[in-house]
Structure 1
Amino acid sequence: MLGAMDMTILSTATPTIVAELNGLELYAWVTTAYMLTSTVLVPIFGKLGDIYGRKQILLWGISIFLFGSFLCGLSGEFGDLPIIGDGMHQLILFRAVKGIGGAALFTSAIGMVADLYPPRQRAKFMGLFGAVFALASLIGPTIGGLLTDHASGTHFGHYIAGWRWVFYANLPLGLVALHMVANKMPALNTQQGGKIDYLGAFLLLIVFVPFLLALTWGGNRYAWDSLELISMFALSGVALMLFIWVESRTADAVMPLDLFQSRVFVIANLSSFVLGMAFMGAVMFMPLYMQVVLGVDATGSGFAMLP
Structure 2
Amino acid sequence: MRWSLGVTSDMIVMISGAQQKNIDRRIIGVIEAAPYLGQNPRASQRISVYVNGTIQCESALSRPGLIAFFIPDEALGQPISISLDHPDALSPAAAGQVEDRRRLAFACRRLHIWSVARYPQSTQPSLCPVLGTPAELLSAFESLGDNCEFGIAQRLSGCEPLGLLRFTATPLPSLIDLLLHEGGGIGDPTTIELDLRGEPQEYILTEKRYNLTYHTFIYADQMPAARVRHRESQKLTLLRRRMLDDLKSARRIYVVKHNVALREEDVISLFLLLRHYGANRLLYVAPAEIDNPPGSVELLMPGLARGYIDRFAPYDNAADVSLECWLAICRQAERLLAGDTPC
Check whether TM > 0.5.
no
- Normalised TM-score (structure 2): 0.20
| Structure having greater relative contact order (Cα 8 Å, sep ≥ 6) | 1
- Normalised TM-score (structure 1): 0.22
Which structure has the highest helix share of the two?
1
